[in-house]
Structure 1
């Protein structure tokens, strides 16, 4: 069975879908700029490391709730 999670972002980036496919985690990022970009991770820690690099907390100064919402969504995968 494949679990699919959707993570919505409020800024100019649209959304991400995360699918757990057996031992792989496939993340698809759909953006206005590049269309769809896919990333495959072998573990949740690898995905969380990518998420922390992709959404640095410093970039959300004054909007920590948004950052926390995105990180919490990743942690639920």
Structure 2
């Protein structure tokens, strides 16, 4: 059985989840703009590196609190 972490969910078309499958982490990003995007990482450091680039403060369209919550959720995976 895989452990699934919800990073954020705005509605059924805008969400990001992480599935932990042993050492493999699968990030599924679903948006009404882009559809589903799937990223596979071998280990947490690789996923965190991606998350820090994907959710850069200067590019994030949302509040600082929302960004902090997203990054906190990634760190708890």
TM-score with structure 2 setting the length? 0.84
Hey, what's the Cα distance between the residues in 1 that align with 2:61 and 2:27? Answer: 25
The aligned residue for residue 40 of structure 2 is 40
Hey, what's the Cα distance between the residues in 2 that align with 1:60 and 1:68? Answer: 11
RMSD, matched Cα: 2.0
- Paired residues in the alignment total 75
Between structures 1 and 2, the one with greater helix share:
1
TM-score with structure 1 setting the length? 0.84
Gaps of 5+ in 1: none
Residue 59 of structure 1 aligns to a residue whose secondary structure is coil
